[in-house]
A and B are shown apart, each in its own frame.
Chain A
Amino acid sequence: MSDVRIITGNEAAALAVRLAEPGVIAAYPITPQTKLAEVLSEYVEKGELKAEYVRVESEHSSLTVCISASTVGARVFTATSSNGLLYMHEQLHWAAGSRLPVVMCCVNRGVGAPWSIFNDQQDSFSQRDTGWIQIYCRDNQEILDTVLQAYRIAEEVYLPVMVCYDGFVLSHTMMPVDIPNAGMVKQFLPPYRPHTALSPEEPVTVNPVFFPSRRENADGVLCDGYMEMRYKMQDAFERSRAIITTASDEWAKLSGRDHGGMIWEYLTEDADLLLTGMGSIATEATLAADALRAEGIRAGVVGIRSFRPFPKQELAAAFTRARAIVVFEKCISYGYEGGVCSDLKAVLYGTDIRVPIHNYIAGLGGRDVKTRELVEAARNTFETVGAGDAEHKTIWLNCHTG
């Protein structure tokens, strides 16, 4: 009875949105997200999706529309890439600070200047601290399933969720995707019932100016100050770990597809060499692990699915046996190293895991990353560490640095 179609990542995301039935969609086209905005327009104009589609004049406005539509109680969706996401920056904070369950797809693309339309993850990485849950997908099936999970997560914990997937590598590449039926989706994702919605029945001022201290309301009740609001956001992130895992588990029960909650693992049980990353580069790392095993190196992959909240407990558990760790990532924190690598090191600090970590910066601006290049990099790491070199290293993969 399954409905398997050969579709792109953007089409998979659009189908998921159609199944989630948002009341309001607002999007501004940008490569490589464009097709997603187009397909959703088509659904709405054909009447296949009953939603208000606001064809805004900028990304700043697309997210603003979603924020305010969500404030009055509608389920919402937007999507963007690259500089579009950067243009939303102010509103990313506003959506999170407003504690609204906005769901967005970020179709990952390098940021300008100079211009690149091609894939890396600097766009969403650079928005790490805006208060959004970020989940990275490794294939088109996971995109579809994760968009549905994103609504479940967002509407339970009242934090916005960004579903990230690699531009072109996934957004424009066709693969088989199993489309769930509407009944199964409804069972997993009931209609949105907000705990509060702005309406004339309850005239309140939403998001006014807060003072540093807690203040009394008209009834003499001491109310939160700005800092308490911030603490509650952080607390929600801590709670979201279990919610992300549960959403994944419940979807797996219904659909038979388990993409992992916070992380996923591939051949890790006996692995001496562990490769890690987010998104499609982690998928490619599984091929590299196969190739390394064929050479006699016991390699495995730990895929990071949730970047925020960061899977601290899961990663600490997953790396217990590793003798060497390789982090492949498509972004960098200038002046330091890859951001995933830094976070992973922080997780391992104070544990018994004290193995060298090699951080490979790879695939920026769409620079091709072949499996054999990942294999070679990982093998070099394994041999270097095996020879007694315990240094952490940052290496630009497949890049002329001379």
Chain B
Amino acid sequence: MHETIFKINEKEYILPGNRACQGCGLSLAYRYILKALRENTIVGIPPSCLCVLHGLYPTTSVIVPALNTTFAGNAASASGMVAGLRALNKTDITVLALSGDGGTYDIGIQSLSGAAERNTDFIFACYDNEAYMNTGTQRSGATPLGALTTTTPILTKQDPKKDFLKIMEAHHIPYLATVSPAYPVDLYDKFVKAKKIRGTRYIQIDTPCPPGWGYPTADTVKIGKLAVETGLFILFEIEDGRFRFTGRSKTMAERGKLVPLVNYVERQGRFKKMSIEQLGTLQASVNSRWEECLKRAEG
């Protein structure tokens, strides 16, 4: 990675001193997203950690044009910006809607599905920190099986995480990718590529969250890497229907094997009440998904 990191845009669009938590996976991802998309980008923001990161009126530490909207509406808001800019003949501006998992998997799914079905010319990126973190770690549709949240405080989440990538893939959009801030070059490359593609582009960001997941703030990159190395989160892209492993997942698919999931789970407080059965179920689903991806990569 040290060879390729130098190609990354040196300009900073998000400065230190923002309101994100220490060790925030989102702020790390956002920094590289903005570097990749550069100027001529407008960001759509729902009420979420990103809204908080952007600061309290009248100050902000982020130098991008950004529009806050309501929780359910980020993809519709982006559709409106795209339509408005087209009406004004400003067609060289990239519109990025950046929502958390709540604003994507749950309350945001309707407007996102509508915008993707219309193949709206925008990037929708979901920073998935696997719970409602902005309000203090409540369960979401993206929370994994066996995780403690403040609304599953004793029994842990009993349902598996929604397979949202499949849902987005079913919209047959031109570009779909997964990224992790633990692998910033892979993240950067995918956003650079996404910026050049027309139509709806969906990018899912695995976003480790120290307070929500229960690990030391210094371990965000370590946890992000473990998510990929255990196969829980797979780095890939689907361009015009063609699946391709990328980055660390690609090298693992070629010559590695998965790190056991327990190595990931045991480092996070949210899994401290996870049962052996739940761990087994989660490991089985990771294995079967990995096999599925290996088959797709061959095909």
Contacts and interface: CB of A to CB of B under 8 A. Distances in A.
A48 interface: no
Interface string A58-76: 1011001111111111101
Contact of A74 (B42, B83, B118): B83
Contacts, number: 167
Chief secondary structure at chain B's binding surface: mixed
Contacts of B159: none
Interface string B32-51: 00000001111011000001
B65 A200 contact: yes
Given A57-B110, A69-B87, A72-B85, A64 B57 contact: no
B154 to A, nearest CB: 32
A90 interface: yes
A90 B72 CA distance: 10
A69 B69 contact: no
Interface residues of B, number: 46
Interface string B223-234: 000000000000
A57 B52 CA distance: 29
A68 B44 contact: yes
Contacts of B117: 57
Contacts of B69: 64, 67-68, 94, 207
Interface residues of A, number: 45
Chief secondary structure at chain A's binding surface: mixed
B56 to A, nearest CB: 5
Contacts of A216: 58
B220 interface: no
A238 B87 CA distance: 32
Contacts of B81: 68-69, 71-72, 198
A223 interface: yes
B70 A208 contact: no
B241 interface: no
Instruction: Give the interface centre of A58, A203, A223 by most chain B CB atoms within 10 Å.
Output: A203
B138 interface: no
Interface string A179-214: 000000000000000000011101111111111000
A51 B83 CA distance: 9
18 contacts: A57-B113, A60-B72, A61-B76, A64-B69, A67-B77, A69-B80, A69-B83, A71-B80, A72-B80, A76-B84, A198-B81, A207-B67, A208-B57, A209-B52, A211-B56, A215-B59, A216-B58, A218-B59
Interface of A: 23-24, 26, 51-52, 54-58, 60-61, 64-74, 76, 90-91, 94, 198-200, 202-211, 215-218, 223
